Structure 1
Amino acid sequence: MCIDEIFEILRQKVDNYEKRQSQIEMSKDIYNLMLNGQIGLIEAPTGTGKSFAYLVAASLFAKKFKKKTIIATSTINLQKQLILKDIPVIREIFDDIVFEIALGRQNYACKRKFYAYAASIFSNIDDPKSFLSGLKNGTKDEFDLLEEGLFEQIKSDKDSCMGRFCPQFRNCFFFNARSRLKDADIVITNHHLVFSDLFEIGEVFDTIDVIIFDEAHNIEKNLTSFATLSFNFYDQLNAIKNFFNIMGKLRLFELISNATKTMDDLKEELLKLSNLIDFSVNYDEEFAKTYLLNILRLQEQLVFDFVNFKDKIDIELSVDFKAIIDKLNFNLKILKSFANQDALSCVYWLERFKDVVLFNITNLNFADLLRKNLYPKVESIIFTSATLSINGDFSFIKNILGIEDAFEKTFKTEFDYKKQARLFVINNINNPQSNNYEEDIAKLVLSVASNFNKGILVLFTSYKTLNEVYNKTNTLLNDFGYNVLKQGFMDNYNMQKVFFKSKTILFGVNSFWEGIDIKGDNLSCVIITKLPFEVPTHPIEKAKYANFAQKGKNAFIDYSLQKAILKFKQGFGRLIRTKKDTGFIIIADNRLLKKSYGKIFLKSLPEVDIEIKSVEDLHLSLNS
């Protein structure tokens, strides 16, 4: 079979399938990149059908050459779409291709721990062996009916794993899953697991021939998360508490007494520091250094308390005891690194968390990380997304990824936006810093909803504004017949399901700017309340700005503006999902009209008619 023949079969198998030449062309491009061992950057707008494009290419490549492809997504929504919707169709065509899902080790239960601790921590399980035999994969979701938080005590982790010496090794959930991955042709996973396995652990994937990063516009965000090490007091506290619960308090009275006092003193120091900082700050304040010395001393004392007790631990529990000591030492290493601050490519920053402080170290040299740990280990890598370029220029994403030479391609949209969409820019919304801003946005939302009878998505850049507008509009929106949702009520996947059952208005931030796929009248209006600039007050953003300044570049033009445009394009793309969709995009930020960079935002969009309206006049256009 060739790619053209495969897509002809797809046309026959998939209901309402539309043949798209761009999809077939994209699939051929990906196949050729795999064949030639190249890196590719492919921007495929909504409607291209990129999921089937790369699944077909990867399946054909696996069938012909027995090569393994990893497909890494950024969002759970896309993973669910691939697993539940797209892959079953591909399996009908390629019945000999093996698909698997890769999860990190921490998602699996450890049978050794479960059997060892079941009696002391699982009060509602009478027969542990029978319970485990009823599990399919031993993953966290299969333990949802148990008491909250108990899975943390029995999850698999590298430090306490006995490997082949474990009595449960042959039946281990994690190693059985890993064994299945070895036999798989195509593996679905997430960005973070690919990074952690290639950069550090190497315990999930044995070999990788090809990686396809979908939603690749999120790689910088996911690398930031991956490249951040944190000392989290509560993680440490929970690990110690779990161990004490397992061991039995009477046997460890002396250790519990010493460790509890040290942890109480440690928390007190972190609490004092927390009261002195805002949400997150750079670690460059003299007062913080004073507290760090005390925190460092107490962490060293905690390590000493545990190490001094190791000879009194039963042999069957020594592995778990060692894991606790390793965790304490790892946290001590982070604190010592804070004290020295000897890594030039890292930013050291503090963050308020609950009532204490997190100590974070973030390595910002992403390009170097990728050049050392990703590109030399994989034959071919394809980065794809609906938003990778700025007006066809891939320089911004190439700089982040550390790529100099790559295949680059931007596909044109399959949609006719001039016929399918209308774009309104509101010219009389107050500045976001004004006291009346939330009131203005609330009036806009109510004006639209009262003159509209279809689904609406309202996109915000902050939870604070979202909550204030929600509180101001919720009651009236219900009176208008809307089912009103805001982010956090339920997971994104289930929120999308609600859209298909009733007339819904959804208030969302961050993840709802992308990865939400609602077609037809269920979503016919998207309101973008504010241009999605990141506020450069966070220590990581400050450090990135400083790096641009050191290189003689303008951080706003070369970085902040580029990121905002890519996110803006994502938000715009929520409206039109098929050739039959129609609707309105409303942008409530007059900087599009007043600032010179406004033209750059508008130029980044597909060809669409732009209308300038006041809030008061908008309803006339919605009804026309």
Structure 2
Amino acid sequence: MSNKFVVIDLETTGNVPKKGDKIIQFAAVVIENGIITDKFSALINPQKSIPAFIEELTGINDEMVKDAPVFAEITAKVIDLLDGAYFVAHNVLFDLSFLQEELIQAGLEGFYGPVLDTVELARILYPTADGYKLSDLAEKENLKHDRPHQADSDAQVTAELFLILLKRLSSLPLLTIKQLTQLSGGLKSDLEQLLDEIVAETDRKREELPDHIEIYKKVALKKITVAENEHVVDINLKYPLSEEEKVEIVKQGFQSFEKRSGQFKMMDIVYQSFQNNKHTLIEAGTGVGKSLGYLLPIAFFAKQNRLKVIVSTHTIQLQEQLLKKEIPLLEKILPFKINSVLLKGRSHYLSLEKFLLTLMDENDNYDTTLTKMQILVWLTETETGDKDELNLSSGGLIYWNKVKNEPTVFLQDQEWQERDFYLKAKIKAQAAEIVITNHSLLLSDIKGEGSILPSFDYVILDEGHHLEKVASQFFGHSLDYLTTRLLINQFGQYEQKQLFYEMEQLLASIPVQEGKQLQTIEMNQMVLDLMYEMDELFKLIALFAKMKFTNKKGFNRVKVRFTHSDNGKERNALVHSAERFAFLLKDLYSAINHRLEWIKKEKKPLSIAQEKIIEEIHLFVNDLGELRNTVINCFIKETKQVKWIEMDIRAPQNVTTILAQPAFVADQLKEQFFQMKKAVVITSATLTVNHSFHYIMKEIGLDADTTVQQTISSPFEYKNQVQLFIPEDLPEINTVTLDEYVIAITEHIITIAEATKGRMLLLFTAYDMLKKTYELIKESGFLNEYVLIAQGITSGSRTRLTRNFQRYDKAILLGTSSFWEGVDIPGEDLSCLVIVRLPFSPPEEPLTEAKCQLIMQQGGNAFSEYSLPEAILRFKQGFGRLIRTETDRGIMIVFDRRIVTTKYGKAFLKSIPPIPVKKGRIDELVDIIHSWL
């Protein structure tokens, strides 16, 4: 590019120049003709002291800037650098606002040339990146970034990144660049100007399309590569294999191979289960290598019998791991070719037809514009069209709902079908031997409502301890305020110009006989009544929940049971409101369908835009019918399901949900799943309680007499790798208030953190206790030099929080529910695991309460049959976070003294591998921690 670009980075005393925050370091890197031609950096005297956290972040202190020039002294140099240039920065509005303020204060005009933001550019050009921080992008492009948060280093890295982004931009197909240009007017930066120049330059050269790109119906797509089906020689399909043969095969996939006898044992159990058509439970300890333990035998079994095997997981993380790490390893070591595919629910896939219909819509907001640009670039690199590849903003997800793949009535242009991502995934699944999916999609096969999965008889259920919970949600219903409101707003009132308005405009263009349908004005009133009743219903839900909730000080998140035996005016008012809401939903449903009938009767051909509107109306009507069904099931119909309300007292309406789920799903799973399949292998690191599979079999409906049960121990030397400490100077958790307990454990956490130098994961069972502990640690000031990361307080997904925790030496991570499992932090990043309390579900928790009541009604013991085994399984999952490889070492601390003071406490200790247990006062234990770590 012949343009001049000046990449700027600043370090400042804070974030708001208008409030007196000042620049403390200025750096610029000049790019001309595509190469770096000049650099300039200077420390700046801000004429005020530098805050401590800025000093820690940047390494710049008052002493370093006291003899530095004030900004006014370098303005001539800055103006000279920026003359005739694009102003480029990572998050450009931040740097520009500071620069403008300083230039104006120096009595000069500000900078009014074109600006470019490398964050915005990276979001468009790397639509699948994990994150867009400078350090994340530098790591992605292997750029050396040794001094983050120092302006000269940041400017240099941003300049190198910018050159890569420019190259990436220029290499896109010309059609894509032109479409990006048309959209780029709605961006923060002046990308349109730059894109215009690239278009002009490419037009001059006459474009040659890269080999991997094709133009299809006015969009550039990545060409689909069709894998050749290789002829399979039966000689390679011998199984079972001897120990030596397994070693020979598996060895090929590893640089340093270590024989794992547990893994080989698992291979044989899986193969025999399928061969003998037996359901099987396998608890495989950490380090067994269970993914390969089941993938290798099912590959042989599928190939020998020419059928497919479904592998189902609970988390996307494990699906990604199987697809990106385990399956490529399997392909490398197998003596034959195997086809595997990942299959997700339909709405995960993009509808190209819908995307192109909406691409040039007027009046898009910023998020929608950016998302469209991301998708255009992504289409040149994706083979799957799967939303999970994209890094979308919350606004981007709203746009995705408009362009996701759904069953269609009109939009079925046959020409699109050959490039339909969803159909392609289904066809690939039909041809594959191994299909990876998730538990929910696996269960959707039960309902058989045009299931996306090909027919199957053999299943591997990994992360199998989640099956019961997923099945409860699957057989249940849930209704929340935000989703309900979004759905009704999608139709809108006439004057809001949403779907209702579009439908009426369409009708106006068709001569409809008068008097045969509701007038627009009457229908508008119906929508208003519906919105009013929806608000009333959710107000009454909140009122009912508050009335039933005996307020515990400090608790904001509430779960309250809703039963048909509840009496009182609040419940009656709630049910009456639900009935009115259901009637109004039915009336609107009928009125819209009536209009659709009229449109169908008219033989007049419709335009594509009109077909698109009718398509949206059809989908809306289906959703309306489902909403009514959910309302009836949650409030009106007497069912055996457990019903409860979840809400946050601080903002009741927006975060109110009502759920209805069966208390036990064993019978449904037995009849509709296990009896229908020939062999299901369920595996996980946590299936047994006190060395028995009895609890899990009862929960999911498996028969002890006909189910194979196997435990494969972890190869790790736990007794040399882990020590368990139980402090004796903490109060018993049930004898003091929440606040007193939090004060006691916070003192211990501070003491332990200083001994372990951070690297701690604290597992809580309730968010309220986590939040209070976090606030008290912060308030104390004792751990100021530690990075505190807390779920629900620090923003980001579980993966992002975990990654940040690994990034800092002195870090403490506080997690609840989802952090008890699936978090993988190997090596020295995690040296200390603290279990704050034994993970019993609160007895007043609706599902727990209902399960316990049912067990007691049948003459059973709810504590020993349900509460205790459930807590033990979660405790085992928590324990599994600490040791992830055979060289890991760590300590585990249990604050809850019930583990040694009660009879049942022994059951927790018996369910984990035998390890040394030490009890004592915290100061005694800290000495041992010091010497052991």
Secondary structure in structure 1 of the residue aligned to 2:807 = coil
Tell me, in whole angstroms, the C-alpha distance in 2 between the residues paired with 1:518 and 1:334. Answer: 40
Corresponding residue for residue 355 of structure 1: 653
Q: 1:611 aligns with which of 918, 928, 931?
A: 918
- Opposite residue 443 of structure 1, the aligned amino acid is E
Q: 1:164 to 1:117 in 2, by over 3 A?
A: closer
Corresponding residue for residue 249 of structure 1: 501
Report deviation, 1:312: 3.9
Task: Map 1:363-512; keep pairs closer than 5 Å.
Answer: 363-404=662-703, 405-432=706-733, 433-434=736-737, 435-453=739-757, 455-474=759-778, 481-488=785-792, 489-503=795-809, 504-512=811-819
Report deviation, 1:589: 0.5
- Opposite residue 578 of structure 1, the aligned amino acid is T
Out of 92-101 and 308-317, give the one that drifted further. 308-317
Q: 1:13 to 1:480 in 2, by over 3 A?
A: farther
Q: 1:112 to 1:477 in 2, by over 3 A?
A: farther
- Opposite residue 388 of structure 1, the aligned amino acid is L
Q: 1:143 to 1:419 in 2, by over 3 A?
A: closer
**Contact 2:728–2:919 under 8 Å retained in 1:** yes
Corresponding residue for residue 331 of structure 1: 627
Corresponding residue for residue 305 of structure 1: 588
Tell me, in whole angstroms, the C-alpha distance in 2 between the residues paired with 1:192 and 1:29. Answer: 26
Q: 1:21 to 1:151 in 2, by over 3 A?
A: same
Secondary structure in structure 1 of the residue aligned to 2:544 = coil
Tell me, in whole angstroms, the C-alpha distance in 1 between the residues paired with 2:288 and 2:821. Answer: 16
Q: 1:261 to 1:341 in 2, by over 3 A?
A: closer
Secondary structure in structure 1 of the residue aligned to 2:912 = coil
Secondary structure in structure 1 of the residue aligned to 2:812 = strand
Report deviation, 1:394: 0.8
Tell me, in whole angstroms, the C-alpha distance in 1 between the residues paired with 2:484 and 2:731. Answer: 46
Out of 83-92 and 426-435, give the one that drifted further. 426-435
Out of 8-17 and 541-550, give the one that drifted further. 8-17
Q: 1:557 aligns with which of 855, 864, 887?
A: 864
Corresponding residue for residue 289 of structure 1: 572
Q: 1:585 to 1:258 in 2, by over 3 A?
A: same
Secondary structure in structure 2 of the residue aligned to 1:370 = helix
Out of 223-232 and 471-480, give the one that drifted further. 471-480
- 1:273-316 CA deviation, whole Å, 9 max, x = no partner? 31331423222333223322222213312331342244445562
Tell me, in whole angstroms, the C-alpha distance in 2 between the residues paired with 1:414 and 1:129. Answer: 45
Q: 1:251 to 1:106 in 2, by over 3 A?
A: closer
Q: Please, what TM-score do these two structures have when normalized by structure 1?
A: 0.92
Report deviation, 1:99: 1.5
- Opposite residue 29 of structure 1, the aligned amino acid is I
- 1:391-440 CA deviation, whole Å, 9 max, x = no partner? 22111011011111200111223122221111111222224452311122
Corresponding residue for residue 823 of structure 2: 516
Tell me, in whole angstroms, the C-alpha distance in 1 between the residues paired with 2:905 and 2:301. Answer: 44
Out of 21-30 and 79-88, give the one that drifted further. 79-88
Task: Map 1:590-609; keep pairs closer than 5 Å.
Answer: 590-609=897-916
Give percent identity, aligned residues only.
28
**Contact 2:354–2:403 under 8 Å retained in 1:** yes
**Contact 2:277–2:678 under 8 Å retained in 1:** yes
- Opposite residue 499 of structure 2, the aligned amino acid is M
Q: Aligned pairs, how many?
A: 622
Tell me, in whole angstroms, the C-alpha distance in 1 between the residues paired with 2:400 and 2:489. Answer: 14
Determine if the alignment matches structure 1 residue 24 to structure 2 residue 253.
no
Q: 1:612 to 1:129 in 2, by over 3 A?
A: closer
Tell me, in whole angstroms, the C-alpha distance in 1 between the residues paired with 2:802 and 2:256. Answer: 20
Report deviation, 1:479: 5.0
- 1:370-399 CA deviation, whole Å, 9 max, x = no partner? 122212332210011111111221110110
Determine if the alignment matches structure 1 residue 546 to structure 2 residue 853.
yes
**Contact 1:517–1:577 under 8 Å retained in 2:** yes
Corresponding residue for residue 72 of structure 1: 312
Q: 1:527 to 1:35 in 2, by over 3 A?
A: same
Out of 468-477 and 538-547, give the one that drifted further. 468-477
Tell me, in whole angstroms, the C-alpha distance in 2 between the residues paired with 1:429 and 1:343. Answer: 45
Report deviation, 1:612: 0.5
Report deviation, 1:135: 6.4
Corresponding residue for residue 139 of structure 1: 386
Q: Please, what TM-score do these two structures have when normalized by structure 2?
A: 0.63
**Contact 1:477–1:484 under 8 Å retained in 2:** no
Tell me, in whole angstroms, the C-alpha distance in 1 between the residues paired with 2:687 and 2:581. Answer: 47
Secondary structure in structure 2 of the residue aligned to 1:623 = helix
Q: Which has the higher contact order (CA 8 A, sep 6+)?
A: 1
Out of 352-361 and 257-266, give the one that drifted further. 352-361
**Contact 1:30–1:382 under 8 Å retained in 2:** yes
- 1:192-235 CA deviation, whole Å, 9 max, x = no partner? 11112333434211122321111111222222222221233432
Q: 1:120 to 1:203 in 2, by over 3 A?
A: farther
Q: 1:248 to 1:558 in 2, by over 3 A?
A: closer
Q: 1:376 to 1:429 in 2, by over 3 A?
A: same
- Opposite residue 529 of structure 2, the aligned amino acid is K
- Alignment RMSD, CA only? 2.8
Tell me, in whole angstroms, the C-alpha distance in 2 between the residues paired with 1:547 and 1:219. Answer: 20
Q: 1:144 to 1:391 in 2, by over 3 A?
A: same
Report deviation, 1:96: 1.4
Question: Unaligned 5+ residue runs, structure 2?
Answer: 1-235, 505-519, 547-557, 601-610
Corresponding residue for residue 210 of structure 1: 458
Report deviation, 1:11: 3.0
Out of 465-474 and 592-601, give the one that drifted further. 465-474
- Opposite residue 103 of structure 1, the aligned amino acid is K
Tell me, in whole angstroms, the C-alpha distance in 2 between the residues paired with 1:569 and 1:132. Answer: 41
Tell me, in whole angstroms, the C-alpha distance in 1 between the residues paired with 2:748 and 2:411. Answer: 60
- Opposite residue 787 of structure 2, the aligned amino acid is N
**Contact 1:484–1:505 under 8 Å retained in 2:** yes
**Contact 2:778–2:784 under 8 Å retained in 1:** no
- Opposite residue 347 of structure 1, the aligned amino acid is V
- Opposite residue 323 of structure 1, the aligned amino acid is L
**Contact 2:339–2:432 under 8 Å retained in 1:** yes
**Contact 1:197–1:205 under 8 Å retained in 2:** yes
Report deviation, 1:120: 5.5
Report deviation, 1:478: 8.8
Question: Unaligned 5+ residue runs, structure 1?
Answer: none
**Contact 2:379–2:385 under 8 Å retained in 1:** no
Report deviation, 1:111: 3.7
Q: 2:404 aligns with which of 124, 143, 155?
A: 155
Q: 1:172 to 1:239 in 2, by over 3 A?
A: farther
Corresponding residue for residue 140 of structure 2: none
Tell me, in whole angstroms, the C-alpha distance in 1 between the residues paired with 2:756 and 2:657. Answer: 46
Corresponding residue for residue 198 of structure 1: 446
